[in-house]
Amino acid sequence: MADFCSSCKKQITNLKGTARLSCPGCGKVDFIRCMGCRANAVRYVCHECGFSGPN
């Protein structure tokens, strides 16, 4: 299964420096962030609870 960055939708399967985290709002959704989005603090939004943020 391919993994995609939650912010920019880039495929990150073979990229290093990506981060996964559970939604701080609801804990049901896993976000994946590529190194570029982490470096630029690109925002993400949870489709379950609406939480958004760079952290």
Smallest gap from residue 1 Cβ to Zn ion (A): 18
Q: Which residues bind Zn ion (CB under 5 A)?
A: 5, 7-8, 23, 25-26, 29, 34, 37, 46, 48-49, 51
CA distance 51 to 54: 10
Name the minimum Å distance from CB 39 to Zn ion. Answer: 10
The residue among 1 and 11 lying less far from Zn ion, judged by its C-beta, is 11
Q: Least Å distance between CB 5 and Zn ion?
A: 3
Q: Six-digit token pair at 44?
A: 């993400």
Euclidean distance between CA atoms 11 and 52, whole angstroms:
21
Classify 14 as helix, strand or coil: coil
